[in-house]
């Protein structure tokens, strides 16, 4: 696999790595939640339903953050909104360490989620608009690969820190990105496409554009895609350490296995980054989603330790490759004046799926529904997303962004 040209361009490499590290910190904070809830369940005696609520409240914040930040980025610029969202989630994460009760912790996680959800669509739009069309898809998938690095960091922090020092210390580490925002303020420039805009369109006009005839089909497809992918991802991965414990493994052993599974995310991204410019966006999304769906059924029904790890590795590999394709594909379907709004609203609708899924898993676990049956739900959901892309999606490989 040849080295992508974008990585050799100094200006674009700086933008990609600078935005990528903010993406990594975002992922680390989200990843830590899945490990913290496993620890809190043991220390605070959380019920499965409370664990589901704790997982979901972060996603509620992310839903609001994605929509509002996307809208604001089309009005005030990508860079300014990126910095503010980074600061919001860092400060709220640090304050989470001081929480002494379940309700206060949930409120702080909502605020952190607002910043987390806002940062992601804005960062992907900024990179998408700053890179030539021949490298654009690959660049955004490589940006997404920093998510895997963040989850690996979260798994390492959780494996070495939480059992020894407690969940509070993990949240304090999550506050460090606030200092990174100071560097980012000088390191990156705003999107060249955004700065060329003269007029700012009203929110009503932008929303109408998303559902106008030229973009209606794409908007419907994207909202279905985002909902199904986010629903399945957060339903499966936020519960992964807890599922391992339910299958009979200790807390430390569960964290160790999840770390191994998380490492498979990186090659998932890198293969998607290669294929997305070679075979197109629809090819990558449909193939990786279908393989994710079958990996979910395999994981849910795995009976042996080896099968469980192998299925988890495949689940991580294909699911995160699909995420990379989705982030690359979404900004390409809208014109510059509504691009960030379109990405933000699609991501926000997807977060609704992310809110529902952890709660649903918590409810089903509390009613003693088997893990295998729960993962069949994820299989069916992911297949719906793949069919939506196949039937409603249009290929954007090699095309210039619409201004």
Domain positions in the chain = 5-182+203-392
Alpha carbons 126 and 38: distance in angstroms, whole number? 35
Tell me which residue of 395, 178, 136 sits closest to 286, measured CA to CA: 395
- Number of C-beta neighbours around residue 240 at 10 A: 24
Distances (CA, A) of 43 to 161, 184, 308, 348: 15, 37, 26, 32
Per-position pLDDT tens, the chain of length 403: 344 455 556 777 788 888 888 888 888 888 888 778 878 888 888 887 787 788 778 888 988 998 998 888 888 888 888 889 888 988 998 999 998 889 999 999 999 999 988 888 888 888 888 888 788 888 888 888 888 888 888 878 877 888 888 888 888 888 888 788 777 777 777 777 665 554 466 778 888 888 988 889 999 999 999 999 999 988 887 677 677 777 776 665 666 777 787 788 889 888 998 898 889 999 999 999 999 999 999 988 887 778 888 888 999 999 989 998 998 899 889 888 888 889 889 999 998 998 888 788 878 888 888 888 999 999 999 999 999 999 998 988 877 776 6
Plot region of 46 (φ>0 → left; ψ -120 to 50 → alpha; else → beta): beta
**For residue 224, what pLDDT is reported?**
97
Model-level pTM?
0.82
CA geometry: angle at 8 spanning 6 and 13, to 5°? 65
Q: Is 303 exposed, middle or buried (0-12, 13-18, 19+ CB in 10 A)?
A: exposed
CB 40 within 8 A of CB 52: no
Fold of 5-182+203-392: Growth Hormone; Chain: A; (1.20.1250)
Distance from C-alpha of 345 to C-alpha of 95, rounded to nearest angstrom: 28
| Cα 155 to Cα 95, 109, 112, 161, 193, distances in angstroms | 21, 19, 19, 10, 37
pLDDT digits (tens, 9 = 90+) for 90-106: 899 899 999 888 999 99
Task: Provide the pLDDT for residue 161.
Answer: 84
d(CA 332, CA 335): 8
Q: What is the pLDDT of residue 252?
A: 59
3-state class (DSSP) for residue 223? helix
């Amino acid at each position: 696999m040849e080295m992508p040209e974008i990585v050799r361009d100094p200006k674009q490499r700086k933008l990609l790595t600078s935005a990528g590290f903010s993406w990594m910190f975002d992922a680390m904070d989200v990843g830590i939640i899945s490990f913290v809830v496993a620890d809190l369940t043991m220390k605070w005696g959380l019920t499965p339903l409370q664990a589901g609520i704790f997982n979901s409240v972060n996603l509620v914040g992310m839903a609001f953050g994605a929509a509002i930040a996307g809208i604001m980025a089309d009005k005030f610029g990508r860079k300014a909104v990126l910095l503010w969202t980074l600061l919001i989630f860092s400060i709220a994460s640090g304050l989470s360490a001081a929480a002494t009760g379940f309700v206060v912790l949930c409120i702080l996680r909502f605020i952190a989620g607002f910043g987390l959800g806002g940062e992601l669509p804005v960062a992907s739009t900024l990179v998408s608009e700053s890179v030539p069309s021949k490298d654009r898809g690959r660049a955004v998938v490589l940006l997404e690969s920093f998510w895997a690095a963040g989850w690996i960091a979260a798994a390492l922090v959780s494996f070495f820190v939480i059992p020894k020092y407690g969940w509070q210390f993990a949240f304090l580490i999550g506050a460090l990105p606030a200092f990174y925002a100071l560097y980012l303020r000088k390191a990156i420039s705003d999107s060249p496409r955004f700065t060329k805009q003269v007029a700012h369109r009203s929110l009503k006009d932008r929303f109408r554009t998303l559902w106008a005839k030229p973009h209606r089909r794409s908007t419907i497809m994207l909202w279905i895609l985002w909902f199904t992918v986010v629903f399945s991802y957060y339903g499966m991965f936020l519960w992964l350490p807890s599922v391992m414990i339910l299958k009979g493994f200790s807390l430390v052993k569960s964290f160790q296995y999840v770390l191994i599974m998380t490492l498979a995310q990186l090659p998932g991204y890198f293969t998607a980054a290669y294929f997305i410019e070679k075979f197109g966006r629809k090819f990558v999304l449909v193939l990786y989603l279908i393989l994710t769906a079958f990996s979910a059924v395999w994981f849910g029904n795995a009976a042996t330790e080896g099968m469980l790890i192998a299925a988890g590795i495949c689940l991580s590999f294909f699911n995160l490759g699909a995420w990379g394709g989705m982030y690359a594909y979404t900004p390409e379907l809208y014109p510059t004046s509504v691009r960030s709004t379109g990405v933000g609203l699609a991501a926000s609708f997807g977060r609704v799926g992310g809110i529902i899924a952890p709660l649903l898993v918590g409810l089903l676990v509390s009613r003693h529904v088997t893990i295998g049956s729960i993962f069949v739900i994820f299989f069916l959901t992911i297949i719906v997303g793949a069919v939506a892309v196949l039937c409603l999606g249009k290929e954007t490989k090699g095309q210039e962004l619409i201004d």
